[in-house]
Amino acid sequence: MQYPARFAPDEDGGFVVTFRDIAEAITQGEDLEDAMMMAKDALVTAMDFYFDDKRTVPPPSPAQEDEALVTLPSSVAVKVLLLNEMIGQKVSASDLARRMETSPQEINRLIDLRHATKIDTVERAFNALGKRLAMRLT
């Protein structure tokens, strides 16, 4: 998942970074390299708001001419897709736990961005939702 970001020069130096699709993600950096690093961090941090509120995370839109793409880490992106699918199907953590024959606490860890989750567990969750997790190398 790559989200378009605008890197606007700041009058005090450096760059202010904003995301059109994820309004909660705003940051700045001293130079372009620092701004990009901060943008990745701000994007991940903003995802917490969606997870905490159990809101659908907007998909990334195509980049416009004056925007750069910021990639969401794969470990976060797959959990975003899972959260969105759960919300879309109106499946609670308890419902998913029953489908996967596990505890609701395990599902809460599964949808916690700070908790490392094995990809096989994420795949099982998608399967329990009637979906198949597919990966590709580009």
> 92 and 50, same structural domain?
no
Distances (CA, A) of 6 to 19, 70, 73: 6, 10, 19
Element (H, E) at 95: helix 93-100
pTM of the model: 0.90
Give CA–CA dist 39/127, Å, rounded: 32
For position 57, what pLDDT does the model report? Answer: 97
Residue 87: domain span = 74-128
> 80 and 46, same structural domain?
no
> 65 and 24, same structural domain?
yes
Instruction: Please report whether residue 44 resides in a domain.
Output: yes
How many structural domains are present in the chain? Answer: 2
Token couple for 39 = 């943008």
> 6 and 67, same structural domain?
yes
> 112 and 51, same structural domain?
no
> 8 and 55, same structural domain?
yes
Sheet order of strands, 2-9 included: 26-29, 15-19, 2-9, 68-71
> 115 and 88, same structural domain?
yes
CATH of the domain at 34: 3.30.160.250
Per-residue pLDDT of the chain (138 residues; tens, 9 = 90+): 999 999 999 988 899 999 999 999 999 999 999 999 999 999 999 999 999 999 999 999 999 999 999 999 999 999 999 999 999 999 999 999 999 999 999 999 999 999 999 999 999 999 999 999 998 887
